[in-house]
Amino acid sequence: MHKFCKEKDLEACVVKLYLPNCTIGIVNTYRSPSGNYEHILNNLETLLNSISSNSMELIICGNFNINFLNNTTQKQLLNSLLATCGLYSTVQFSTRICNNSISTINNIFINIVKYNNFIVYPFVNGMSDHDAQIIVLHDITLPNNNNYFHFTRNFRLRLKL
């Protein structure tokens, strides 16, 4: 994975979920606004080609620092690249509100043909100037075996006096 990443241009992490009826690869990305846009396109394409397979579904999410509310060349190029993998944008609301600026720079891309029964909504957690996005895919069923895992992370402010 490291060979595809370059700080500010493309930072990515992939997690595979092995479910009873499918395997899902979740790719979380970050692109700095000052990064080289050509690098993200080239390396994201190489990354997707290296991990995609007929037996694994992909979900791409993260902060692309492209305002999806505007029709720009960067948005068109990213949408075209991801469409070659059957992935399409799902976030249709603002994800960052700062001062007098509203933008959708975070997004989630899924195969909306295969998973057409979904909802996406914002989750305002107060920890950032970005709102989180939550996607619920109703087309994926999980067995109910009453085993629940719950992980939390404690954030504590430590002051040096």
Pairing of strands 56-63, 23-30: parallel
At 83 the pLDDT is 95
**Could you give the C-alpha distances from 100 to 29, 52, 96, 97, 126, in angstroms and in order?**
26, 40, 11, 7, 18
Residue 51 host element (H or E): helix 37-51
At 79 the pLDDT is 95
At 149 the pLDDT is 67
Nearest partner of 109 among 120, 96, 95, judged by Cα: 120
At 91 the pLDDT is 86
SS3 content of the chain, % helix, strand, coil (to 5): 20, 35, 50
The pLDDT profile of the chain, 161 residues, written as one tens digit per residue, is 556 566 667 888 889 888 888 889 999 988 888 888 888 888 889 888 888 777 789 999 998 888 888 999 999 999 999 999 999 999 888 777 777 777 788 899 999 988 889 998 888 877 676 778 889 988 877 666 666 666 676 666 555 55
At 19 the pLDDT is 85
Nearest partner of 62 among 22, 32, 36, 86, judged by Cα: 32
Three-class SS state of 159: coil
Q: Token pair 């996005």 is at which residue?
A: 133
Q: What domains does the chain contain, in order, with CATH numbers?
A: 2-137 (3.60.10.10)
Q: CA-to-CA distance for 87 and 89, rounded, in angstroms?
A: 7
At 60 the pLDDT is 94
At 18 the pLDDT is 86
